[in-house]
Amino acid sequence: MNKNNPFVVSCEKSSFLIEKKLAGALSMKEHSQLFIHKLICDVCRKYEKQSILLDNLLRKKIAGNNSTSPSANIDQNRIEKLKSTILGKLK
Amino acid sequence: MENASVAIKEWVELYTSEMVSWAYYKTSQQETAEDLVQETFIAAFQSFHTFENKSKPKTWLFSILKNKIIDHHRKCYRDAVLPANKVSEEYSANLFGFLFEADGQWKKDRKNINWGTDTEELLDNPEFNVVLADCLNRLPASWNAAMQLKYLQEKDQKNICQELEISATNYWQIIHRAKLQLKACLENYWFKNE
C-alpha cells in the first residue's frame, strides 16, 4: 500500500468512511478515498452492504413499532400488580 | 380532574400490558419498562388537559412513552461509567485487533464470512431478534445508548452531537466502532454457519 498517496486508505479507514457516507457526511476528499478503495477491495464493498443492512435492521429493531419478541413473555401477574400500583398513584 | 381520573383508569386497564411489552422491547429491562409505563400514566394524568380527542388515546400514550424511553437512553448515556468517547483504548484496540491486521486490512477470517441473501427478513425471525438484542447489550453501555438515540430519534448528526456533548469526529468514531462490534458479534453468534 502506498502510504504517501493521500487517496490511498486502509480497510479500517474505509470502514469508517462508509459509516460517514451512510449519513451523507463525506467530504470530497473522503468521497474519493472511499471510491478508489472500493475499486480495489471487494471485502470493503461487501462490508458496505453489510453496514447498510445492519442500519436497516437496527432502525427496524430500535425505532419500529414491533414489540413481539419471545423474550417479551411478560408475566401477567406482574402486569396486574403494576396496574394496581399505577391506579393507586392516580388518586 | 374527575374526567381525567375516569378516562385514565380505563386506559390503564386497556393498554398497560401492550405498553410494557413495547417498552421492554426497547430497553431490554423489565423493571425499567414497568417504571417507564408507570411514569407515562402519571404524566398523562397530569397533562390530561392537553389531550385532545383528535388523536387516539393509545397514540397519545405511546408518544409519551416513546419520549420516556428516549430520556431513559439519555440517562444511560450520561450515567455510563465510561463515557462513550473514553471507552478504554484497550477495548477499542482489541476490537480493531480482532477485525483488522496491523496494516489496516481486514483479517483473513473476516473475508470469507457471508451474511447470506435473505437478510432483510431477519427481523421477522424471533431467534435473530434475540441475538441482535444480546449483541446490542454487549456493547459498552454508552455506545449502546448512543445507538439507541441515533435510531430512535433519527435526528441529524449535528443535533445528536450537541445533545451528547461530543464532537462530530467522536460521534463517527462511536458509531463506527459500535457497528464493527455488532458485525463481529453477529458473525460469532449468527452468521457463522452460513
Is the distance from CB of B65 to CB of B24 less than 8 angstroms? no
Query: Coil, strand, or helix at residue B100?
Result: strand
Among residues A11, A7, A10, the alpha carbon closest in space to that of A33 is found at: A7
What average pLDDT score do residues A70-80 get?
A: 74
Residue A42 has pLDDT above 70, yes or no: yes
Contacts of A16 (CB under 8 A, 6+ apart): B172, B173, B176
Query: Are A90 and B41 an interchain contact pair (Cβ–Cβ within 8 Å)?
Result: yes
Residue A66 has pLDDT above 70, yes or no: no
The whole-angstrom separation of Cα A27 and Cα B172 is 14
Residue A74 has pLDDT above 60, yes or no: yes
The whole-angstrom separation of Cα B26 and Cα B160 is 19
State the pTM of this model. 0.85
Residue A67 has pLDDT above 70, yes or no: no
**What string of pLDDT tens digits covers the 194 residues of chain B?**
667 888 899 999 999 999 999 999 889 889 999 999 999 999 999 998 888 777 899 999 999 999 999 999 999 998 887 777 777 778 888 999 999 999 999 999 888 888 887 777 887 888 898 899 999 999 998 899 999 999 988 777 788 888 888 888 888 899 999 999 999 999 999 987 54
Domains in chain B (CATH in brackets) are 2-71 (1.10.1740.10), 84-193 (1.10.10.10)
The model's confidence at residue A1, banded by pLDDT at 50, 70 and 90, is: low
The whole-angstrom separation of Cα B164 and Cα B171 is 9
The whole-angstrom separation of Cα B98 and Cα B187 is 12
In chain A, where are the structural domains located? 1-64
Is the distance from CB of B13 to CB of A90 less than 8 angstroms? no
CB environment B86-98: b (16+ within 10 A), e (fewer): ebeeeeeeebbee
Residue A69 has pLDDT above 60, yes or no: no
Among residues B89, B74, B86, B188, the alpha carbon closest in space to that of B138 is found at: B188
Query: Are A43 and B34 an interchain contact pair (Cβ–Cβ within 8 Å)?
Result: no
| Grid cell at residue B181 | 462490534
User: Of chain A residues 15-74, which have a CB less than 8 A from chain B?
Assistant: 15-16, 19-20, 23, 25, 43-44, 47, 50-51, 53-54, 56-72, 74
The whole-angstrom separation of Cα B143 and Cα B83 is 9
Residue A49 has pLDDT above 70, yes or no: yes
Map grid coordinates 435473530 to a residue.
Answer: B128
| Grid cell at residue B60 | 397519545
Residue A73 has pLDDT above 70, yes or no: no
